Structure 1
Amino acid sequence: MKRAIILYLATLIVMVPLDFLFLGVLAKDFFKAQVGPALGDVNIVPAAIFYLLYPVGMVIFVSYAAGSDWQHTLLYGALFGLFCYATFDLTALALLKGWTWPATLVDIAWGTFATATSATLGLLIANAIQRQA
């Protein structure tokens, strides 16, 4: 249980700033240009639920599935991110007016990268913490 909590917190600490940097700075203008009408003000409650819940999925379906091997964590993280972000983006493309293919492809690529990176760095941080304990 202690390992799960350390993995969760380490993954969360990597993922949130990484995603905020991408969405809030690096890709902000891109997404505004691509899907501006579909974007509204951020609803903080669902956003907070996502950021608290998604790392749970990473720990269960990536970190535990991969064991303590960072290469497998990187691969499983990329796959988990691909499937999760593709589920959202392809559904948005199918159902939301104004959602675009470029936004879909960029967001799926981002989700693949961000999930792989967050899960892997979370694992490495957790391993380092547990070695010192």
Structure 2
Amino acid sequence: MIRLVAGYATAALTMLVLDGVWLTVATPRLYKPRIGELLADKPSLPPAVVFYFLYVAAIVVLAIQPALREGGWRRLLTHAVVFGLVAYATYDLTNQATLKTWSTTITLVDMAWGTLVTTAAASAGYAVMRWIGK
């Protein structure tokens, strides 16, 4: 149980730190100029907390645990990349398909970011869980 909690906490901390930096840098440079009218003046914390809680749990279940059971780093990276890409593509492509104002640039950059941050969080959580052992 300690191993699972440590892996989850490490993945969550990695994701929160990286995403915090990303959003601080990207919002004024990428998001605001392209979809500023859609952005809230201040993000709502409760949905953000629920998102991170669920997303990191999915990273653990869909990427970290299969890699620990069946094959190591290659399995981890494959699952993390696919999960991050598909999760962020779902959000971005749905927005692009349904909203009047959505930028293809945001879709492409955000999908790349989602792939990267998911893979980084999964890798950090996996490394800690391997280090702790069974």
* Same fold flag (TM > 0.5): yes
Aligned partners of 2:101 and 2:127: how far apart in 1? Answer: 40
Q: How does 1:84-103 map to 2 (within 5 A)?
A: 84-103=87-106
Kept in 1: contact 2:4–2:129 (CA 8 A) = no
Aligned counterpart, 2:111: 108
* Correspondence list, 1:70-81, <5 A: 70-81=73-84
Partner in structure 1 of residue 48 of structure 2: 47
107-116 or 5-14: bigger deviation? 5-14
Deviant stretches of 4+, over 4 Å? none
Identity, % of aligned pairs? 35
Unaligned runs of 5+ in 1: none
Look up the equivalent residue of 2:77 and give its one-letter code. Answer: L
Deviations 1:7-49 (A, max 9, x none): 2111101110011111112x12211112111111211110111
In 2, distance between residues paired with 1:14 and 1:46?
19
Cα contact 2:80–2:119 (8 A) shared by 1: yes
Shift of 1:67: 1.9
Does structure 1 conserve the Cα–Cα contact (< 8 Å) formed by 2:68 and 2:130?
A: no
State the Cα distance separating 1:2 from its structure 2 match: 3.3
> RMSD across aligned C-alpha pairs, in angstroms?
1.6
Question: Equivalents in 1 of 2:48, 2:33: separation in Å?
Answer: 21
Number of aligned positions between the proteins: 130
Q: CA deviation at 1:88?
A: 0.6
Contact 1:7 1:122 in 2 (8 A): yes
Q: 2:91 & 2:68 partners in 1: Cα distance? A: 27
Query: Aligned residue for 2:38?
Result: 38
**TM superposition score normalised by structure 2:** 0.89
What is the TM-score normalised by the length of structure 1? Answer: 0.89
Q: Which sections of structure 2, spanning at least 5 residues, go unmatched?
A: none
Q: Hey, what's the Cα distance between the residues in 2 that align with 1:94 and 1:72?
A: 32
Q: Alignment partner of 2:48: what SS?
A: helix
User: Per the alignment, in what secondary structure is the counterpart of residue 18 of structure 1?
Assistant: helix
Show the counterpart of 2:6. 6
SS of the aligned residue for 2:43 comes to: coil
- The whole-number CA distance in structure 1 between the counterparts of 2:77 and 2:34 is 29
